[in-house]
Structure 1
Amino acid sequence: MVTRLSTQDALFYYLDEQDATTHIGSLLILDRGSDQLQYDRLLATVESRLGAVPRYRQRIREVTLGLGRPVWVDDNGFDITYHVRRSALPSPGAEEQLHDLVARLMSRPLDRSRPLWEMYLVEGLTDNRMAVLTKTHQALVDGHDAVEINQVLVDDSPRAPDAPQDIWLPAPEPSDASLVAGALTDVATRPREIVGALRGLSAPVAGVGSAVTGSLRRVGSMLRFATDGAPDSPLNGPTSGRRRFTVASADARTCARIARHNDCSVTDVVLAAIAGALRRWLLSRDAAVDATATVRALVPLGAYNGYGDPDSRGGSWEQIDDAEWTAAGVRGFVTDLPVGEPNPTVRLSQVAHLTGRHSTSGRRVAMGTRSWLPEIGPATFHAMTSRAAATLSGRSFNLPISIAGGGSAPQYLAGNRIVAAYPVPALVPQRALAIGLNHYNGRIFVAFNADRDIMWDLASMPEYLAEAVGELAVRASEP
Structure 2
Amino acid sequence: MPDRLQPMDASFLSAETPTTPMHVGGVAVLEPSEDGLDVAVLRRRVEQRIPLVPRFRQRVRSLPAGLGPPVWVDDARFDLAYHVRRTGLPTPGTDAQFRTLVGRLISGQLDRSRPLWELYLVEGLSRGRVAVVTKSHPALVDGASGVDLLHVLLDDSPATADAVTPVWRPAPEPGPTELVLDAAVDLVRHPTHVVGAVKAGVRGAGRLLGTGTGLLMSARPAPTSPLNADPGRQRRFACARTDLDRYRRLRSSGTVNDVVLATVAGALRQWMLYRGTPLRSDSVLRALVPTSVRGGPPAAFGGDVGASVATSLIDLPIGEPNPTVRLTQIAYAMRAHAEPGRRVGADALVRLSGFAPATLNAMAARAASGLSRRLFNLVVTNAPGPQRPLYVAGARLREIYPVVPLAAGQSIAIGVTSYDGQVYFGLNADWDAVPDVDVLAGLLAESIDELTEAMV
Q: State yes or no: 1:301 paired with 2:291.
A: yes
- Once the 2 structures are TM-superposed, how far is the Cα of residue 35 of structure 1 from its aligned partner? 2.9
**Aligned residue pair count:** 435
Separation in 2, partners of 1:153, 1:138? 18
Report the equivalent of 2:302.
none
Q: Which is worse superposed, 12-21 or 25-34?
A: 12-21
CA contact (8 A) 2:350 2:386 kept: no
State the secondary structure of the residue aligned to 2:373. coil
Q: Which residue in the other structure is 1:374 paired with?
A: 351
**Is 1:282 matched up with 2:272?**
yes
Does residue 445 in structure 1 map to residue 437 in structure 2? no
3-state SS of 1:301 partner: strand
Deviations 1:362-409, CA, capped at 9 Å, x for gaps = xx2379xx9987332333232233223322232222111111111111
Residue 18 and residue 159 in structure 1: after superposition, are their counterparts in 2 closer, same or farther (change >3 A)?
same
Q: Does 1:28 align with 2:32?
A: no
Superposition deviation, residue 428 in structure 1:
1.4
Which has the larger displacement, 251-260 or 140-149? 140-149
Residue aligning to 1:470: 449
Deviations along 1:200-233, whole A, 9 cap, x unmatched? xxxxxxxxxxx88994587453652341222221
**SS of residue in 2 equivalent to 1:65:** helix
> Which amino acid in the other structure matches residue 449 of structure 2?
G
Counterparts of 2:415 and 2:11 in 1: how far apart (Å)?
A: 23
- 2:43 is aligned to 43
Contact 1:404 1:437 survives alignment (8 Å): yes
C-alpha separation between the residues in 2 aligned to 1:422 and 1:123? 17
Q: CA deviation at 1:181?
A: 1.2
Is residue 257 from structure 1 mapped to residue 236 from structure 2 by the alignment?
A: no
1:387 is aligned with what amino acid?
Answer: R
Partner of 1:392: 371
Matching of residue 102 in structure 1 with residue 94 in structure 2: no
The CA deviation at 1:160 is 1.9
Q: Which amino acid aligns with 1:251?
A: D
Shift of 1:55: 0.7
Q: Does 1:268 align with 2:258?
A: yes
Q: Name structure 1 gaps, 5 residues minimum.
A: 195-210, 303-316, 321-327
Other-structure match for 1:228:
220
Cα distance change on mapping 1:373 and 1:66 into 2, 3 Å: farther
State the match for 1:122 in structure 2.
122
| Residues 318 and 360, structure 1, Cα contact 8 Å, conserved in 2 | no
- Contact 1:35-1:416 at 8 Å conserved across structures: no
Shift of 1:16: 2.4
Partner amino acid for 1:76? A
Q: Helix, strand or coil for the counterpart of 1:460?
A: helix
The 8 Å contact of residues 383 and 417 in structure 2, kept in 1 or not, is answered as yes
Gaps of at least 5 residues in structure 2 are 297-306
Q: Secondary structure at the match of 1:245?
A: strand
Report the Cα offset of residue 95 of structure 1. Answer: 1.2
CA distance in 1: counterparts of 2:139 and 2:77, whole angstroms: 21
| 234, 249, 270: which one aligns with 1:242 | 234
The 10-residue stretch of structure 1 (279-288 or 78-87) with the greater mean CA deviation from structure 2: 279-288
Cα distance, 1:144 vs. partner?
3.9
Per mean C-alpha deviation after superposition, the further-off stretch among 289-298 and 9-18 is 9-18
CA displacement, residues 418-439 of structure 1 (integer Å, 9 cap, x when unaligned): 0001111111111111110111
Indicate which of 421, 434, 440 corresponds to 1:455.
Answer: 434
From the superposition, tell whether residues 332 and 103 of structure 1 become closer, same or farther in structure 2 (CA, over 3 Å): same
Tell me if structure 1 keeps the 8 A contact 2:247–2:259. yes
CA distance in structure 2 between the partners assigned to 1:375 and 1:154 by the alignment: 16
Distance 1:191 1:456 in 2: 51
Q: Is the 8 Å Cα contact of residues 62 and 71 (structure 2) preserved in structure 1?
A: yes
Give the SS at the match of 1:238. Answer: coil
1:337 aligns with 2:316: yes
Report % sequence identity.
43
1:347 matched to 2:326: yes
State the AA in 2 paired with 1:447. G
How many angstroms apart in 2 are the aligned matches of 1:294 and 1:166? 54
Look up the match of 2:281.
Answer: 291
Q: Secondary structure at the match of 2:93?
A: coil
Q: CA deviation at 1:148?
A: 0.7
Shift of 1:12: 2.1
- 1:38-437 pair list within 5 angstroms: 38-160=38-160, 163=163, 165-188=165-188, 189=190, 215-216=201-202, 219=205, 221=211, 223-260=215-252, 263-302=253-292, 329-358=308-337, 364-365=341-342, 374-376=351-353, 377-437=356-416
Q: Distance in 1 between matches of 2:22 and 2:246?
A: 34
Question: Contact (CA 8 Å) 2:291, 2:343: kept in 1 or not?
Answer: no
Where in structure 1 do 4 or more consecutive aligned residues deviate above 6 Å?
A: 191-194, 211-214, 370-373
Kept in 2, the 8 Å contact 1:150–1:379? The answer is no
Answer yes or no: is the 8 Å Cα contact 1:298–1:333 preserved in 2: yes
The one-letter code of the counterpart of 1:51 is P
